[in-house]
């Protein structure tokens, strides 16, 4: 149960930061730094209890890699979506953050490519820095994971989807009018595809290596 | 006594950075990066002596968690407020940093929600990265704590209070006209509420777990 | 083979970030932070398998220093150029990122000086933080290497070449019209010169010291 | 001798970054991030050989604290000034970076206060993170030291001196017209005062504690 609470808290603050840095007084240009930072700190804080996924696509990848029990997956994903949804309500309805303009339907192809690539990078980094023996005990895992999102948001955030790389973030953006209903399905599908591809690539590499598992 | 001096020095530079990056030549948009950075470095520098609180709401949370002696609390809090006040004098009267416009009374509800959430995140991260056995000996604690403030300042700094998350910072902003007298009471109350809630959440989680204490 | 795949993946995301942050919605001013971040995270992720070069000039320097087998050099360099070229295709043709204006021929002298200096700094940092006994087991190598590129891109990116410090990046910028054909030869030559000079300086220093090898 | 070469290289790149990010294509607002980053990476790279001072005020403070042999001080300081001066020549004369406007004489009092405070913070952080037993073996020392300069440049860079906190940087800015001859003496004096004060504060604290020396 503690694991689910930690996943709830971390995803809540991640999505809250996404929602509240739109139309920020500081300008949206810093949004990827704020989002990468909150993900980093929540992973450093919660990683020792839940692993610090805060993202259903990450839970999928970590489960495929064999480092998350199947029995934990539903609780993780529910906690992540509930945390994201509550953040959207707090950010939108309580704090009153609303987007400057109505979201428009994205062009499916570039947006899905961008979401697949970004989620692949995220899960690729996570599986390497946080689930391998050769990297055990390092002090950089949160920095590496958080700033993967920073870099990918700058590089891949401008193709219509906003750069979610995370179904719980996608849900939060939908609830606050930052994404349309038509966008959400393809984004979530792309996130899961990207996460699964990263897990497959990781496993192929490590099984062929026969070590560091 | 050394602990109090370290708390004084760290809080002094934290509040000085807050005051001096308002109306900065580099633009206020970088303020959260500057503030998170100075908090990070002062924690890395002073953490081995005082724990690196620099914030009465943090001292409250760490005391509730049982990692700060009750007899140390008054000295810590006094050192923090004196450091913050001196920074406000140096920044405002000696260096002459003054706000571009008079502060206005904030809308209480969103501002208190923002301050509670930001201080909760800060103390949540601190208790996890700096007071648990499973994270002992890490090299990321200052980065995690400092950049919690960076992320929260970007996300939660725009709701009227300026994003203090720290009563000593609130005092400094009041002394330099960045906050009104009417704002300060609710901000400090919200900071203490957020810190206490984080300590309660942390303790509930760890007592139920029965480990990592 | 796994090493080459890791080099391919890392260089792909590095060059993709370069291509996609040009004309970014967030403004090119954040490009060095995005590029340094993606390099950092790919090194943290892939370093334990391939060493995380992602750059033919780095492979040259590490080979000269005796920490990359000569038999690995061709595979590394091919993987890096293929990864960079694929990223250019994905970024330019699939995602449709194109430069705002046609590239112009650079003034050779300042551009080559800038590229030599930047690549020297990069390889100097790499050889010290990632190949010495006294720094073995540290958790900062990716941060140090990635943010060398961030700093050098800000300092040395404005002299005509765009701040490549990496032949695979130079190839990607050529393929997407961010550099002219006339620019590429001098840039790649400068990168290799800078990397080789750093390796020579490093070896002179360490051989004279007779330790830490 | 190796130590002096490392000090030369590190100071060269530090001052080169200062010079070349003035009138940067990316805008001066990122200058503190670039400067803090290059200082961080040069410390991570060179710290294991020379300690990574790159700053006569730091050498003064580390010597006062008893962690730099008196016989090394002249060589360190000469290497630092030579490195800084060469960077000014490369940046100004070879690369052609010139300031947008002629420097003006600063108001002495606020500028000296700002330089003293910034150098105090820098040396305070260095002595704590890099010369104490309780922090030995950490992986954060370069990050802590580099981003002290980032934070202080944002907070204290706007009071006439430009935020040097380092006599070798002051020399470089003078050589390139970023500071006037009348400014340099007070800046360097303030840097040495700030560094000495930090060493005195550190020693008073530790001698009274009788440990962690």
Roughly what angle, to the nearest 10 degrees, separates helices D141-156 and D108-130? 170
Nearest-CA distance A52 → chain B (Å): 12
Q: What are the structural domains, with CATH classification, of chain B?
A: 2-209 (1.20.1080.10)
Closest by CA position to C151, among listed D157, D23, D146, B17: D146
Residues of C in contact with B139 (CB under 8 A): 139-140
Residues of D in contact with A140 (CB under 8 A): 139
Facing D157 at nearest CB: one of B25, B37, B46: B25
Question: Given pLDDT bands bounded at 50, 70 and 90, which one contains residue D206?
Answer: confident
Residue A81 CB contacts under 8 Å (≥ 6 apart), including other chains: A11, A56, A167, A168, A171
Question: Given pLDDT bands bounded at 50, 70 and 90, which one contains residue C29?
Answer: confident
d(CA B90, CA A144): 38
Nearest-CA distance D150 → chain B (Å): 7
Q: What letter does residue D94 receive in the DSSP assignment?
A: I
For residues C95 and A210, the model is more confident at C95
Question: Given pLDDT bands bounded at 50, 70 and 90, which one contains residue C103?
Answer: confident
What proportion of chain C, given as a percentage, has pLDDT over 90? 85
Question: What is the phi/psi pair of residue A23, to 5°?
Answer: 60, 25
Q: What letter does residue B107 receive in the DSSP assignment?
A: P
Question: Given pLDDT bands bounded at 50, 70 and 90, which one contains residue C22?
Answer: confident
pLDDT at D29 over 70: yes
What proportion of chain C, given as a percentage, has pLDDT over 70? 95
What proportion of chain D, given as a percentage, has pLDDT over 70? 95
Residue B101 CB contacts under 8 Å (≥ 6 apart), including other chains: none
d(CA B58, CA B53): 6
Mean pLDDT across chain C, nearest whole number? Answer: 93
Closest by CA position to D9, among listed D33, D59, D43, D34: D43
Question: Given pLDDT bands bounded at 50, 70 and 90, which one contains residue C27?
Answer: low
pLDDT for position B25? 53
Nearest-CA distance C48 → chain A (Å): 7
pLDDT (mean) for D30-39: 96
Task: Count C/D contacts: CB-CB distance under 8 Å.
Answer: 113
C108: contact with D, CB 8 A cutoff = no
pLDDT at D212 over 90: no
pTM, two decimal places: 0.96
pLDDT for position B82? 98
DSSP A159-199: SSS-S--SHHHHHHHHHTTSS-HHHHHHHHHHHHHHHHHHH
pLDDT (mean) for C156-164: 92
pLDDT for position C100? 73
List, for residues D120-174, the tens digit of each pLDDT value.
999 999 999 999 999 999 999 999 999 999 999 999 998 999 999 999 999 999 9
Nearest-CA distance B142 → chain C (Å): 14
Give whole-number Cα distances, B82 to A125, C62, D72, in Å.
44, 52, 39
Pick out chain A residues at pLDDT < 50.
none
Give whole-number Cα distances, D170 to B29, D112, D163, D173, D181, in Å.
27, 13, 9, 5, 10
**ipTM beyond 0.90?**
yes
Residues of D in contact with A33 (CB under 8 A): none
pLDDT at C210 over 80: no
pLDDT at D213 over 60: no
CA angle B155, B156, B157 (to 5 degrees): 105
pLDDT for position D186? 98
Facing A45 at nearest CB: one of B36, B125, B156: B125
Give yes or no for a contact between D29 and B30, defined as CB atoms under 8 angstroms apart. Answer: yes
- pLDDT tens, N- to C-terminus, chain B (213 residues): 899 999 999 999 999 999 999 865 555 789 999 999 999 999 999 999 999 999 999 999 999 999 999 999 999 999 999 999 999 999 999 998 877 777 889 999 999 999 999 999 999 999 999 999 999 999 999 999 999 999 999 999 989 999 999 999 999 999 998 999 999 999 999 999 999 999 999 999 987 665 555
Question: What is the phi/psi pair of residue B194, to 5°?
Answer: -60, -45
pLDDT for position C25? 54
pLDDT at C158 over 80: yes
B136: contact with C, CB 8 A cutoff = no
Facing C134 at nearest CB: one of D5, D13, D48: D48
Asked if D46's CB is within 8 angstroms of C158's CB, the reply is no
Neighbours of chain B (3+ CB pairs under 8 A): A, C, D
The continuous run of DSSP H or E covering B10 comes out as helix B2-20
D57: contact with C, CB 8 A cutoff = no
Report the helix count and the strand count for chain C, using DSSP H and E: 8, 0
Residue B1, classed as helix, strand or coil, is coil
Give yes or no for a contact between B43 and B142, defined as CB atoms under 8 angstroms apart. Answer: yes
CA angle D76, D80, D83 (to 5 degrees): 135
For residues D27 and B13, the model is more confident at B13
Residue C112 CB contacts under 8 Å (≥ 6 apart), including other chains: C161, C186, C187, C189, C190
Give yes or no for a contact between D162 and D179, defined as CB atoms under 8 angstroms apart. Answer: yes
The continuous run of DSSP H or E covering C196 comes out as helix C181-209
Facing D44 at nearest CB: one of C28, C144, C205: C144
Give yes or no for a contact between B29 and A27, defined as CB atoms under 8 angstroms apart. Answer: yes
Q: How many residues does chain B have?
A: 213
B139: contact with C, CB 8 A cutoff = yes
pLDDT for position A24? 58
> From D139, which residue of chain A is nearest by alpha-carbon distance?
A139
């Amino acid at each position: 149960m503690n694991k689910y609470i930690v996943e709830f808290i971390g995803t809540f603050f991640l999505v809250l930061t996404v929602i509240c840095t739109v139309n920020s007084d500081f300008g949206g240009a810093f949004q990827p730094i704020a989002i990468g930072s909150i993900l980093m700190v929540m992973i450093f804080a919660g990683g020792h209890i839940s692993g610090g996924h805060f993202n259903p696509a990450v839970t999928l990848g970590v489960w495929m890699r064999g480092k998350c029990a199947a029995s934990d997956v539903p609780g993780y994903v529910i906690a992540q979506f509930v945390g994201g949804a509550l953040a959207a309500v707090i950010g939108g309805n309580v704090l009153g953050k609303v987007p400057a303009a109505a979201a428009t339907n994205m062009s499916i192809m570039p947006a899905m490519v961008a979401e697949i690539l970004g989620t692949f990078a995220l899960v690729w980094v996570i599986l390497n820095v946080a689930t391998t023996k050769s990297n055990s005990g390092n002090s950089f895992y949160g920095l590496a994971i958080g700033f993967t999102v920073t870099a990918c948001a700058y590089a891949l955030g401008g193709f219509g989807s906003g750069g979610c790389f995370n179904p719980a973030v996608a849900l939060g953006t939908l609830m606050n009018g930052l994404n349309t209903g038509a966008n959400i399905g393809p984004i979530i599908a792309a996130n899961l595809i990207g996460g699964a591809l990263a897990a497959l690539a990781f496993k192929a590499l490590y099984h062929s290596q026969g070590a560091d598992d």
